Amino acid sequence: CGNHLPELVSYWSLQLFALTTLILHTVQVKSVQTMPAVPAGNYYQQGQGPSCWDRVKLGFMMGFSVGMATGALFGGFTALRYGLRGRELMNNVGKVMLQSGGTFGTFMSIGAGIRC
């Protein structure tokens, strides 16, 4: 077994070199074949941005999302502090999430409407 050690090292180094070359060639070929860029103005007309109504809707959606997350945190900790468990906990946290999401979404949409 000791006599074949240089041959094994040479064999495995050759295999590693071949594998590395194959990987590099694959990466180079894949980097050449890229997808074409999406043309600008696909959603809106060419050269125009979102309308004021689109901005108000986006403001509401962003505010609603942030409000839901905040409501989950604050409502969850408050309900646990009051000792609610199970179904009562879920109902209370859900109500707080919807209330805070609606409130924050409304204020964000008003802010986006003012900026139009």
Query: Going residue by residue through the chain (116 aa), what tens digit of pLDDT does each one get?
Result: 556 555 655 666 777 777 777 777 666 555 555 666 655 555 656 667 889 999 999 999 999 999 999 999 999 999 999 999 999 999 999 999 999 999 999 999 999 999 98
Determine the Cα–Cα distance for residues 110 and 61; give it in Å rounded to an integer: 12
Contacts of 11 (CB under 8 A, 6+ apart): none
Please check whether residue 50 is in contact with residue 58, taking contact to mean a CB–CB distance below 8 angstroms.
yes
Q: What is the pLDDT of residue 18?
A: 75
What's the confidence (pLDDT) of residue 60? 95
Tell me how far the alpha carbon of residue 27 is from its chain's centroid. Answer: 26
